[in-house]
Amino acid sequence: MEGDRNLESKIEMLLNVEKQMRQAGDVAGTRKSAIDILQLCFEARAWTTLNEQIVLLSKRRGQLKQAVQAMVQQAMQYIDQTPDLETKIELIKTLNNVSAGKIYVEIERARLIKKLAKIKEEQGLIAEAANLMQEVAVETFGAMAKTEKIAFILEQVRLCLDSLDYVRAQILSRKINPKVFEADPSKEKKKPKEGDNVVEEPAPDIPSLLELKQIYYELMIRYYFQNNDYLEICRCYKAIYEIPSVKENPAQWIPVLRKICWYLVLSPHDPMQSSLHNLTLEDKNLSGIPHFRLLLKQLITMEVIQWTSLWNTFKDEFENEKNMLGGPLGDKAAEDLRLRVIEHNILVVSKYYSRITLKRLADLLCLSIQEAEKHLSEMVVSKALVAKIDRPVGIVCFQSAKDSNDILNSWASNLEKLLDLVEKSCHQIHKETMVHKAAIRA
């Protein structure tokens, strides 16, 4: 009881000092007296009084922003030393309310909300934690370090993915330009010029830029997995594979390269997939996992693949690939792999045949006529190839119909090539004749 009275009298005395300093416009004195009040409350473990004094001091008439900033920064050091969770939450909320709407403590407010969101997540309130984090738009904070901004946005994305809010996760992820991870930290300007915003040092627990790059792509893999966007997942793994710390350690790059191979063969055939496929085949590290080199080689070679023999060869590898970020390769992926093999076979047939019967096509694909027709039709609709089916006769034509102008143009082109050849031949004959005559005269 006597201790409480003693504390109140000391606080009263310091409040008078603070008032005098504030009215005199003494920034250092006001800041020191405000911090001393908080320190008194902390040492006395008077947490309720501490919260009250923070609110009281921040609302005092003409309060200096430097004093408010110093108070918030000082009180943030007490958060981890609170006796229980309820006291910790109360202190965070008090500081959050004091810093709301104040630009000069926006970084502190972001860190406070991050702490509060973590507590909510630990309590199992993931949706509530995600909503809390979305209140803060750190991309507008000029004084916040780049790595801290990225880490904060990634935390927002992670919480949205955990709460299955994929639309908002995508919107938030677009705030990060992947090119930012390629920046060279050594080339960044260290000393700001006069007039530039002073960028604060990031919090101690913020990862490095390359670590953030890995976290970003791992989160994007989780996002793309729910849409089964195999090519984008493959590109994300490719970006992780290029990180120096991953590429230098075989224990890390071998599992990543395996996943790149699986998602490459699962991706629908298009120019980007083809380019990535060829690029991966040229990778020297692929010799460390020859089984997967064979798989990629098979799906790029213009030969018909027997699905049963391919599946029997790679089934064990496929089923053992469990450690996936989005989830293991399941029945859906196995069905998609079979579909990719069928599409590959149809492309091979279209390369070697201009016309073929549906029955023969079905035999080559090891499918029924109805299934072969279905898959062929789907590829035509997706514009993967050009084909027409004469159903009464049962013939597939892989040549596109040409109009009269195209035919005439091709004839004119052929005639031009023929005349060029004739002219070159005449020139060669004339040259040989002249050489022969010169030899006889000599």
What's the pLDDT tens digit per position in 129-169?
Answer: 888 888 888 888 777 888 888 888 898 899 888 888 888 88
Is the pLDDT score of 409 beyond 70?
A: yes
Candidate ranges 87-101, 289-303, 420-434; pick with highest mean pLDDT: 420-434
Provide the pLDDT confidence category of residue 423 given band limits of 50, 70 and 90. Answer: very high
Residue 269 has pLDDT above 70, yes or no: yes
Non-local (6+) Cβ contacts of 71 within 8 A are 34, 35, 38, 54, 57, 58, 98
pLDDT for position 320: 75
Count the residues in the chain.
Answer: 442
Q: Can you tell me the distance from the alpha carbon of 233 to that of 227, in angstroms, rounded to the nearest whole number?
A: 10
Question: Higher model confidence: residue 4 or residue 105?
Answer: 105
Is residue 195 very low, low, confident or very high in pLDDT (cuts 50, 70, 90)?
very low
| pLDDT tens digit sequence for 294-325 | 888 888 888 888 888 888 888 887 777 766 66
Structural domain boundaries in the chain: 209-352, 354-401, 405-442
Highest mean pLDDT among 157-161, 328-332, 393-397: 157-161
Task: Check whether 46 has a pLDDT greater than 70.
Answer: yes
pLDDT at 3: 53
- CA torsion through residues 414, 420, 426, 431, sign: negative
Give the model's pLDDT for residue 296.
Answer: 86
pLDDT above 80 (res 411): yes
**pLDDT at res. 72:** 82
Model confidence at 188, in pLDDT bands (50, 70, 90)? Answer: low
Q: What percentage of the chain exceeds 70 in pLDDT?
A: 93
Fold observed for domain 354-401: Arc Repressor Mutant, subunit A (1.10.10)
Per-residue pLDDT, 322: 67
What is the reported pLDDT for 421?
A: 92
Mean pLDDT of the chain: 82
Which tens digit of pLDDT belongs to each residue from 277-296?
A: 888 888 888 888 888 888 88
pLDDT of residue 428: 92
